[in-house]
Amino acid sequence: METEEWDFFKRVGSRVKRRYLDLESLYMEMKNASVLVNQIVFFSLCERIFLSPDQRMASLYTLMFFNVIAYCASYVKEIIEREDWSMYVNITRSSNVHHLALSTTKIVLEWTKAVTFIITVVFMLLVFGLEKGLKNYTPTVTYLLITGFYFIMTEKVFVEMFFSWLDYRKFDYFEGMETFYCPALLLAMQITISFLFLFLCFVYGNFRLVVLSSFTNVRVKYRELQDRYLIPLSKELSKLSCYRMATPSEIRGHDDVCAVCLTAMSCARITPCQHFFHADCLRRCLKESYKCPICQYDLFKSQSIISGQ
């Protein structure tokens, strides 16, 4: 009888766990909504710790101000990416003419539009705030710095700027795989900061907020970190582990470009056939074929030998 009861509880527990994981997956799929909830909950954690009890709506007001800043940054980013900032102006449909005066006028007009838009939005926001009684809204500098830092780590436009900067800098440590490392790094920072303030909020006795933030800011973020970035990253690194990293002296002695992307190499992986490739370029090639892109050497055979040893 006890065995039957235990099996029953195991089946119920398994079903509840499956429903819970389905709920998590659904929540993670609603990317924009989950990010917004995540930001509100974190801002509320900071509000309970750094602000007085009479400012219970400070988290929503702060998030509103930050979203306006993000919208303005997104607008300026769109203008920069959309417009052609070269010193050539289309005089006719079939020709580009080098004209300094016209090009300068065009650039000034575009930036004037951007600045005018930002000033208008800020003015409307201030008027709206004064009408709604935001003159009593007095967040501390510490609160604004912490929430602003977290907002930058989670808001799409700023995350994309961070990725673009890292892709431009090309740090050797990432070996060209910033698409795996950078989101994992940001998520790990979010989890760490959220856990710290969750613990402080627990000390202050806000247990309902602690339970909510444990799900939205820690559990869901940890699952996203593990499922979407850490597991795929570990798989890709395991494929590359058979190919050792070249030393700086070997790269200088090689004095060549990567045969896949045709750019210079400051870090590289060496195949058994003694060819140098960027780690990310080699990883992409291995997805298509286990042959060396240069000499067609069977890398799968050598990988099996190394694994067997």
Strongest mean pLDDT among 262-266, 269-273, 298-302: 269-273
Residue 198 has pLDDT above 70, yes or no: yes
Mean pLDDT of the region 102-113:
58
Has residue 146 got a pLDDT over 90? yes
- Is the per-residue pLDDT at 275 higher than 60? yes
Whole-number pLDDT of residue 193: 93
The per-residue pLDDT for 121 is 59
Q: What pLDDT is stored for residue 86 in this prediction?
A: 56
Q: pLDDT digits over 160-188, tens only?
A: 888 888 777 777 777 778 888 888 889 99
Architecture of the domain delimited by 248-308: 2-Layer Sandwich (3.30)
Task: Please tell me the pTM assigned to this model.
Answer: 0.74
Domain limits, the chain = 28-240, 248-308
Please give the pLDDT value at position 192: 93
The tens digit of pLDDT for each residue in 14-54 reads 777 778 777 777 877 877 888 888 998 999 899 888 887 77
| DSSP codes of every residue in the chain | -HHHHHHHHHHHHHHHHHHHHHHHHHHHH-HHHHHHHHHHHHHHHHHHHHS-TT-TTHHHHHHHHHHHHHHHHHHHHHHHHHS--SSEEEEETTEEEE-HHHHHHHHHHHHHHHHHHHHHHHHHHHHHHHHTTGGG----HHHHHHHHHHHHHH-HHHHHHHHHHHHHH--GGGTT-HHHHHHHHHHHHHHHHHHHHHHHHHHHT-HHHHHHHIIIIIIHHHHHHIIIIIHHHHHHHHHHTTSPBPPHHHHHHH--B-TTT--B-SS-EE-TT--EE-HHHHHHHHHH-SB-TTT--BHHHHHHHHHH-
